[in-house]
Amino acid sequence: MFNIGIIGTGLMSEIYSDLIIENNLGKLIAVAGNTKDKTDIFAKKYDISSYPDSNYELMFANHNFDLIIIATPEWVREDPIKYCVNNNVHIILEKPFADNMETATMLQNELRNHKKGFKVCHVLRYSPRFFMAKMHLEGKKIIHMDSTRNSNLLRFERISGSTNPFFWLAPHDIDMMLWLKGVGIKEVFAMTNNSNVAKDLVSVMVRFEDDSTATFRNVWGFAPISNVSKSAYFNIWHESGCVEIDDSDMNIKIFEGNEVSQPDTYEDFHILSKRMGFFRNMLEEMINDLKVGENKAHGELENAIHVTQVSEMISRSVHEGRIVSINEL
């Protein structure tokens, strides 16, 4: 059984900790967080050791870990990765890999020769809808993909002013498109209504290395009807048809009077007091995979870097008003 540590004390850390304990995926032994109050509360909830003030050095000195799950904010990556690599442990990293190319390059250098496993939490790969689409599309030539996603006000407020929104918005769409296509992206053109305001949208056009195309839109900062996305659609056109995924159907809608509510069955779905859904699928699969062998970091790292590169291309295209090629990075 893996000895597991958590770095970060937010929503995703709670989800992963619940899943580890409820499904006996390992022995959760310690958490490192930023503030003392939040870290101590988190540690008390799970009856584990607390290391506030991001005291990774003391945490690693006091425990022998097999796996660390890093679920820090998007702009806190370098120190957690460095300590994990130096202590030779498996790493599961909450997406995105990085929120700028400078940090991504530093992390790439840290992880390039890492002897243990490294995985990034691109959770949609573990959704039954997307997995079924992947199986259906095997051997078919994908001509075009199109995605629409809505990130609400509460989530945007969490990252606003702390990170580049394009690195926060785009990883789901980019990773799914890369995963389904199996080839890289070479050009991007993107634009917003007004990237200087809190409520906005970005429209992105993508060209792959095989000259097929994709488009996606992300809307953010508007008042939600729930704490999940209002709409999330993903369409894949291939040479003999189309696969359509209405991702919002994973949630339920409750109509009462003139009101509609949409409870969160995406991240916070419980059955008999246990968290369910594809976060569970992802974590179980990742941990089982890491247990099987020394799963080297190379393949996952290549994908993480490319997702970050495309996010950078989107950001440059928005601010410079032109097509950006990956050869410019």
DSSP secondary structure letters along 317-329: HHHHTS-EEGGG-
Mean pLDDT score, 303-315: 95
Token reading at 160: 């606003």
Contact of 2 with 66, CB cutoff 8 Å: yes
Q: What is the pTM of this model?
A: 0.90
274-275/270-271 β-pairing:
antiparallel
State the SS3 of 166-225.
HHHHCHHHHHHHHHHHCCCEEEEEEEECCCCCCCEEEEEEEEECCCCEEEEEEEECCCCC
pLDDT band at 168 (very low <50, low <70, confident <90, very high): confident
List the beta bridge partners of residue 236.
145, 243
In angstroms, the Cα distances linking 74 to 141, 162, 165, 194, 197 are 34, 9, 10, 23, 21
Mean pLDDT score, 120-149: 91
| Beta-carbon contacts of residue 109 (< 8 Å; ≥ 6 apart) | none
Token reading at 222: 């508007």
| Beta-carbon contacts of residue 317 (< 8 Å; ≥ 6 apart) | 188, 189, 190, 191, 204, 323, 324
* pLDDT exceeds 70 at position 247: no
The fourth-level CATH superfamily of domain 3-122+284-294 is NAD(P)-binding Rossmann-like Domain (3.40.50.720)
DSSP 225-283: SSSS-S-EEEEEEETTEEEEEEGGGGS--EEETTEEE----SSS-EETTEE-SHHHHHH
Mean pLDDT score, 11-32: 95
Distance CA 199, CA 220 (A): 6
* pLDDT exceeds 80 at position 191: yes
Mean pLDDT score, 220-236: 70
**pLDDT at residue number 43:** 97
**In a 3-state reduction of DSSP, which class is residue 161?**
coil
Sequence spans of domains, the chain? 3-122+284-294, 124-272+307-328
CB atoms within 10 A of CB 136: 13
Estimate the share of the chain in helix, then strand, then coil, as percent rounded to the nearest 5.
Answer: 40, 25, 35
Task: Say which CATH architecture domain 124-272+307-328 belongs to.
Answer: 2-Layer Sandwich (3.30)
In angstroms, the Cα distances linking 263 to 56, 151, 192 are 36, 15, 30
Helices 78-86, 101-111: crossing angle, 10 deg rounding? 0
Reported as a single tens digit per residue, the pLDDT across 22-70 is: 999 999 999 999 999 999 999 999 999 999 999 999 999 999 999 999 9
Token reading at 144: 């075009």
Distance CA 92, CA 87 (A): 14
* pLDDT exceeds 60 at position 227: no
**pLDDT at residue number 257:** 81
List the beta bridge partners of residue 30.
5, 49
